[in-house]
């Protein structure tokens, strides 16, 4: 846990150093802070007079002097939990601790700790007005990343996943000013409501216009939109995602899809602003800065001070996205402070995780072609629209767009082991290929104990000497196989009909092909 006395001393020193650093345009190295050689975003906000009152990250410390835990994981095998901390004070996450604790079983993220010392931790969101609960917890392996050369994991929000804190300390209420930023994966989004991070209702209900002030990311067009086809950074102010002064389109809010995206929002009495940029380089652009919406309820605001991640204020939980870090401040940060924070973010060094296995790189789209001749070499693994089963079927350039999309998969880091892979449906986001009773199905990651393992496959050389075979992580003698045009995990000889040794090697060998969809 955070060490308050050290934190106070460190912060005092950092505040002095950070002020100097800001005025000199320097963003690292604070003289006299031996335990905090670098500054975090919250040191910069503090120096700017708008301190963080919540600071969440699974990848790094957000204060130069922070030495406590970043997040907690719970493993499937025995429900034991473990805090994941830092490699060093003010440094990066100790991802190896997660890897060893969760090895071979899979973990979910149970707590995102607040580094500000105010206890504004995020935990599993409860049911709300729009949807039941509790919401799912994020799979701890699903968003691997490298930060500053160190392996870390983000928070992968599949539809149905959500975190919340309704009993906060220091978060803005009413019309009080606040700021916030988050780093998202700009390539992971959808149009569902609402992938949010920020201020929301304390009772999980939609209590009316102006009762929220949260960052939104995605391509939902129900209330507002920006230029192009999205996704956009918008402000969820309740009963509306705002891209500009009022509901509707705002041409100045651009489509942004940087792999690592900085999104910023701030709001005070009759003013608010949206800003964003590439979290890997460059500065921030201002998408909107001006007056509050003129519809009833937004001026003055009625902020309630809860914190949400991945969901809307009323627990609308149909959105998806990935979160790496974010903070909320007391007071309306200046543009200069936010620019300094952006410089700190770009200096942190976010790059994609390096868990790729050949062409099976997380994030890439592929199709999987069967290799068994003569029946099946033009057949591809696909989900079956008639039910949730997974089959192979002939797919070619004349196939319908739906058939092609059904035969297309997005490679994800293995849900139970990031050195292996999982397959997410390209046209059913959030649904994964997984086995149940040794048959393969497409279903949502419900965060349940066995789902992660049942959805994780370790690529090996093709059992026939051709292509790639996919070994089930929890049944290592069984491989992804087609049998009678239906998909299973199968051993070479066994009690099930699909374990037949005839054609086993070919049936379990696949060619990783260009995506159909």
* Contacting residues toward ligand AHR, per CB under 6 A: 130, 193-194, 206, 236, 238-241, 312-314, 316
Cβ-closest position to ligand AHR:
312
Task: Quote the CA–CA distance of 52 and 41 in Å, as a whole number.
Answer: 9
Count of other CB atoms within 10 angstroms of residue 32: 9
φ and ψ of 103, to 5 deg: -55, 130
Selected catalytic residue, list 135, 238, 253, 424? 238
Least distance (Å) between residue 236 CB and ligand AHR = 5
| 238 catalytic residue (yes or no) | yes
Q: For ligand AHR, which is the closer residue by CB, 41 or 226? A: 226
* 303: region left, alpha or beta (phi > 0 left; psi from -120 to 50 alpha): beta
Least distance (Å) between residue 185 CB and ligand AHR = 20
Q: For ligand AHR, which is the closer residue by CB, 158 or 390? A: 158
Least distance (Å) between residue 455 CB and ligand AHR = 29
Q: For ligand AHR, which is the closer residue by CB, 48 or 240? A: 240
Q: Which pair of structure tokens corresponds to residue 428?
A: 């059913």
Least distance (Å) between residue 297 CB and ligand AHR = 11
Task: Quote the CA–CA distance of 268 and 227 in Å, as a whole number.
Answer: 26
Q: Which pair of structure tokens corresponds to residue 102?
A: 């969760």
Selected catalytic residue, list 114, 135, 206, 314? 314
Least distance (Å) between residue 317 CB and ligand AHR = 10
| 304 catalytic residue (yes or no) | no
Least distance (Å) between residue 238 CB and ligand AHR = 5
Q: For ligand AHR, which is the closer residue by CB, 216 or 260? A: 216
Least distance (Å) between residue 177 CB and ligand AHR = 20
- Please, which residues bridge with residue 422 across strands? 412
Q: Which pair of structure tokens corresponds to residue 386?
A: 């008639």
4-24 and 335-348 are packed helices; what angle lies between their axes, rounded to 10 degrees?
110
> Is residue 87 packed enough to be buried (19+ CB in 10 Å), middle (13-18) or exposed (0-12)?
middle
Shortest CA distance to 396 belongs to which of 412, 410, 377, 383? 377
Least distance (Å) between residue 1 CB and ligand AHR = 32
Q: For ligand AHR, which is the closer residue by CB, 244 or 312? A: 312
Q: For ligand AHR, which is the closer residue by CB, 253 or 278? A: 253
Strands 390-394 and 431-436: unpaired
Task: Quote the CA–CA distance of 255 and 232 in Å, as a whole number.
Answer: 5
Task: Quote the CA–CA distance of 324 and 483 in Å, as a whole number.
Answer: 41
Q: Tell me the C-alpha to C-alpha distance, in Å, between residue 361 and each of 179, 378, 410, 411, 416.
A: 36, 24, 9, 6, 16
Q: For ligand AHR, which is the closer residue by CB, 106 or 162? A: 162
Q: For ligand AHR, which is the closer residue by CB, 203 or 255? A: 203
Widest Cα–Cα separation across the chain? 74
Task: Quote the CA–CA distance of 339 and 7 in Å, as a whole number.
Answer: 25
Task: Quote the CA–CA distance of 351 and 369 in Å, as a whole number.
Answer: 31
Least distance (Å) between residue 327 CB and ligand AHR = 20
Cα torsion through 176, 131, 264, 353, rounded to 10: 150
Q: For ligand AHR, which is the closer residue by CB, 206 or 507? A: 206
Task: Quote the CA–CA distance of 280 and 92 in Å, as a whole number.
Answer: 16
Task: Quote the CA–CA distance of 5 and 15 in Å, as a whole number.
Answer: 15
Q: In the Cβ-directed half-sphere of 412, how many Cα atoms lie within 13 Å?
A: 33
Per the listing, tokens 């026939």 go with 464
Active site residues: 238, 314
């Amino acid at each position: 846990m955070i060490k308050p006395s050290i934190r106070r001393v460190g912060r005092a020193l950092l505040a002095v150093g950070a002020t100097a650093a800001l005025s000199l345009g320097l963003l690292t190295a604070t003289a006299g802070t031996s335990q905090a050689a670098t500054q975090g975003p919250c040191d910069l906000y503090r120096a700017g007079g708008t301190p963080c009152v919540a600071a969440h990250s699974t990848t790094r410390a957000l204060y130069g002097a922070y030495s406590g835990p970043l997040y907690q994981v719970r493993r499937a095998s025995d429900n034991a939990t473990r805090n994941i901390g830092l490699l060093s004070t003010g440094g990066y996450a100790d991802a190896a601790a997660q890897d060893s604790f969760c090895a071979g079983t899979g973990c979910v993220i149970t707590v995102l700790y607040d580094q500000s010392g105010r206890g504004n931790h995020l935990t599993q969101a409860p049911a709300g007005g729009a949807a039941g609960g509790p919401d799912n917890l994020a799979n701890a392996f699903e968003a691997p990343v490298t930060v500053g050369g160190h392996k870390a994991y983000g928070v992968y929000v599949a539809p149905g996943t959500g975190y919340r804190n309704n009993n906060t300390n220091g978060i803005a209420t009413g019309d009080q000013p606040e700021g916030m930023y988050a780093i998202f994966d700009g390539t992971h989004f959808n149009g569902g409501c609402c992938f949010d991070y920020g201020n929301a209702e304390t009772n999980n209900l939609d209590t009316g216009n102006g009762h929220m002030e949260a960052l939104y990311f995605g391509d939902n067009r129900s209330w507002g939109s920006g230029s192009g086809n999205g996704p956009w950074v918008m402000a969820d102010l309740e009963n509306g995602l705002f891209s500009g002064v009022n509901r509707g389109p705002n041409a100045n809010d651009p489509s942004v899809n940087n792999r690592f995206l900085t999104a910023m929002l701030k709001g005070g009495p009759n003013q608010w602003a949206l800003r964003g940029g590439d979290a890997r380089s460059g500065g921030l652009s201002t998408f909107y800065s001006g007056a509050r919406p003129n519809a009833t309820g937004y001026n003055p605001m009625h902020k309630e001070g809860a914190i949400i991640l991945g969901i809307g204020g009323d627990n609308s939980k149909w959105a998806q996205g990935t979160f790496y870090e974010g903070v909320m401040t007391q007071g309306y940060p200046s543009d200069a402070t936010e620019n300094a924070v952006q410089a700190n973010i770009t200096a942190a060094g976010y790059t994609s995780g390096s868990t790729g296995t050949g062409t099976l790189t997380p994030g890439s789209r592929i199709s999987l072609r069967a290799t068994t001749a003569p029946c099946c070499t033009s057949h591809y693994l696909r989900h079956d629209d008639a039910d949730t089963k997974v089959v192979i079927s002939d797919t070619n350039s004349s196939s319908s767009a739906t058939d092609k999309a059904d035969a297309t998969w997005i490679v994800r880091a293995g849900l139970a082991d990031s050195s292996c892979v999982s397959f997410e449906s390209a046209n059913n986001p959030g649904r994964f290929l997984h086995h149940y009773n040794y048959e393969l199905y497409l279903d949502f990651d419900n965060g349940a104990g066995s789902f992660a393992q049942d959805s994780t496959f370790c690529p090996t050389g093709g059992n026939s000497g051709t292509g790639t075979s996919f070994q089930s992580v929890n049944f290592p003698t069984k491989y992804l196989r087609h049998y009678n045009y239906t998909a299973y995990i199968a051993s070479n000889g066994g009690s099930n009909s699909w374990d037949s040794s005839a054609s086993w090697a070919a049936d379990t060998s696949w060619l990783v092909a260009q995506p159909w969809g």
